[in-house]
Chain A
Amino acid sequence: MAKDEFEKREFKIVGTRVPRPDGLDKVTGRARYGADMSAPGMLFGYCLRSPHAHARIKSIDTSEAEAMPGVKAVVTRADFTHVPASGGTKDILDNVMAGEKALYDGHTVAAVAANSRSAAKAALKAIKVDYEVLPHVTDVDEAMKPGAPELHQGRQQESVPEGFSQNVLARSQYGHGDVDAGFAKADIIVERSFKTAATHQGYIEPHACLASMGNDNQADLFCCTQGHFMVRNTCADIMGMESGRLRVTASEIGGGFGGKTTVFLEPVALMLSKKSGKPVKMTMSRDEVMRASGPTASTSIDIKIGVKKDGTVTAATGDFRYQSGCFYSMNGALGAMCGFAPYDLENLKTVGWEVVTNRPKAAAYRAPGAPMAAFAVESVMDEIAKELGMDPIDLRLLNGAEEGTKAAYGPTYPAIGLKATLKAAKAHPHWSAPLGENQGRGVGCGFWFNFGGNTSVSLMINPDGTVNLSEGNPDIGGSRASMSMMAAEELGIPYEQIRTIVADTASLGENDVTDGSRVTFAVGLATIKAARHAIEIMKGRAAATWGIDADAVEWVDGAAQPAGPNAGKFPPLTLKDIAATMSKTGGPISGHHEANAEGAGVSFGTHICDTEVDPETGAVKILRYTVFQDAGKAVHPDYVEGQLQGGAVQGIGWALNEEYIYGEDGTLQNAGYLDYRIPVASDLPMIEPVILEIPNPGHPYGVRGVGETGIVPPLATIANAVSRAAGVRMTSLPMSPPKLLAAIKAN
């Protein structure tokens, strides 16, 4: 049972703040990211993108472009003759190269490879596309109505009742108890509607790859991705090739946050390479990143919560309508599962809706679906606290989930840290610090599931006693350091004796994507087990050397020693001793572990924020911000803090500035960092992280994922702070100055 993995122990290396192995390359400019690789004879590839939000592609004439100097290949959807086996991959193909219709502004309709950037860009202009422009829809509520412009036909699932357009693809429902009976017992009922704009993950590194494919149906691909095994499997399915013939190497990754858990350029680059017979490098511009890579869902949410005068919640409902761009994506369901997850509720009903619109297909963004749901639920909780005259933390403690609570999405929680984060927040000096004029303090809670998943790790003992660890998950937050730390802890050797690398797809077994905050948990678990495997072999070698039973050997502080006085008297054999003689004692020693890891512990956080609102401009300043989160066990506290700080600041951007703005014609109006403004250093105070450690029973060291939960509470926390500072409840994100000023004036 995964639950029984945790064993209390004293750590020597885990919990310290060692330097990361990729640090030197990253501070000297040597680290190779997606766009930094070149190949001899390489061509440059670029995409032609639809200028229309919704249009039928009547014809594409590439003849003029093909005849231009330096142009070696032009591809359109007609070149992708293989039909992918998986429906999800078919959608991905439709997204990376439009079929019959362009479904959003920025949708790729053709691509060119040429021997210079300028030749390729000139050729794009010579491609003639005949479009029949169709009516479009970008708003979720509009898209759901009967009569709305429809993107697809026949994709609606049976779960959707009558009375909606074909854009509503799915409906899901969660909850328990009897909400009508619950509301009947309530003294106060608060019911509100909320809207949140779509935001982009905003990774600074645009998508990039280098593909090399020959007519032997064998290919190599170097790309920035959160999961090169996913890239291999998806691209092989699109190209109609066996996955073993495509080797994918992950570059250093310049940020992902969920946005690099799918493919965009990679299949196009492979097709251009196949057709031209030369390596092809493709990079997206920022404009392309914004228009055509994964933003998050925009939402429209209704929340109703009933409470007794003492603050006990008697019933709650939520309707979570999420548009996820032009193809199916599970987002509304995640909102419906996560919004009320911090609470122990007797009567609950939530409904999630998946809606398509003429926008780019949404990709995951850090706890996908959850931040918007938390914004809506936590805003209503704040309003209730205000109405009851109750401390908002006390209201949450009164109704908070704990071990044994039936979760909003079904299961019963094991040991969880929600109340610990609330208590820590209440006890923190931030919660009781005085506030000035036009200032307000907000609090909010958030939840994320976390994930385990398919993982392969290989650990090699070298003849000189150093250790190499191969893992298959791109390192986006310092995971090579964390893996080396856990391996060193288990083996009982110094951190510096281990080097961890991210292996390519031909060098290691299958690995799921770096997502779901899974890596430190699942890859860490596999690393520990791989180390234990190697220890078992080394104990066997020591036993054979001493002529005693392997059972009579124990591993202590990096060495084999006889277990107790009955085993015999032998001086310990260190890992280095055993490594030095391994060719004589049975040959090379490696440990490995492969598993579909279960037992990822769920994660909770509580945030506090102070804001100051300028009543004349509607501008909001973040004065102070404190994050409380349960990490289970912080393997490398610096990187845990970094996750909490980074998540909070992305949430600040989402709450205050960031939004996809579409024009009347359905085209994106702010496809760049100037007009899509992410937080900069001068917008922010220090972000204080407080790490709590409630061990996850599913991991030997108690580790929980920490990457995603940090973005869940900020939208609500900041909205609650702003609403209290401005004296008006803000129900629409972002709370940009014009919107906030209008709300203040209307009040």
Chain B
Amino acid sequence: MSRIHVNTTINGDAVDYLCEAEDTLLDVLRDQLDLTGSKEGCASGDCGACTVELDGRLVCSCLVLGAEAGGRTVNTIEGMADGDVLHPLQKNFIEKAALQCGICTPGILVAAKNLLDHNPDPSEEEVRYWLAGNLCRCTGYDKIIRAVLDTAAEMRGAA
């Protein structure tokens, strides 16, 4: 089976890979590039565990083909911290117990960071609707929503 050669940028690094036509971006990230922080919970775009940024927009990487990432910019959970300095959302998710099992956490963090990049002062309702595409089965969302709101306030204070 012939494979497709793709040049792209992932977490700021130029990356190239060969993929089959049917491979999703999530398959490529996980199986070929060992970026296993993005999770497969459903492969149908319903759970958000594979959420990444594609050219700055949130997408479910299970709904994007690996071939489609050519010439574009992909940001995953592995690129969220700055070296050993955690993003304030990452720090607060640990400190405020906003995770239990942690399987949804990468997708939620990527989505929440994208929200705060666009809207530094979201209401609780805005956070809840923004994250409505990211399923969490452990927490009931309470501590996640609080951690995002607290982080937004903290980042506004620091700005």
Contacts and interface: CB of A to CB of B under 8 A. Distances in A.
Interface in A425-446: none
Contact of B44 (A17, A28, A252, A673): A673
B140 A478 contact: no
B144 interface: yes
A29 B94 CA distance: 13
Contact of A32 (B36, B106, B133): B36
B129 A682 contact: yes
A641 B135 CA distance: 19
Interface string A644-682: 011111100000000000000000000011100011111
Nearest to B110: A29
Interface string B98-130: 011111111001000000000000000101110
Nearest to B143: A642
B15 interface: no
B136 interface: yes
Interface string B31-55: 1001111111111101101000000
A258 B140 CA distance: 17
Chain B interface secondary structure, helix, strand, loop or mixed?
loop
Contact of B140 (A27, A257, A645): A645
B131 to A, nearest CB: 5
Interface string A597-613: 00000000000000000
Interface in A249-266: 252-257
A68 interface: no
Interface residues of B, number: 61
A683 B145 CA distance: 13
A296 to B, nearest CB: 14
Contacts of A674: 44, 46
A contact residues, range? 35 or more
B137 A17 contact: no
B138 A646 contact: yes
Nearest to A20: B94
A622 to B, nearest CB: 11
A9 interface: no
Interface string A191-225: 00000000001111110000000000000000000
A35 interface: yes
Nearest to B38: A29
B77 interface: yes
B90 A27 contact: yes
Given A205-B101, A255-B103, A673-B44, 6 more contacts: A26-B99, A205-B103, A252-B101, A253-B101, A681-B131, A681-B144
19 contacts: A27-B94, A27-B102, A29-B36, A29-B106, A32-B36, A35-B30, A205-B39, A206-B41, A254-B102, A254-B103, A286-B42, A286-B47, A642-B97, A642-B139, A645-B142, A649-B139, A673-B41, A681-B128, A684-B141
Interface of A: 17, 19-20, 22-33, 35-36, 38, 117-118, 201-206, 252-257, 283, 285-286, 476-478, 638-639, 641-642, 645-650, 672-674, 678-684, 686-687
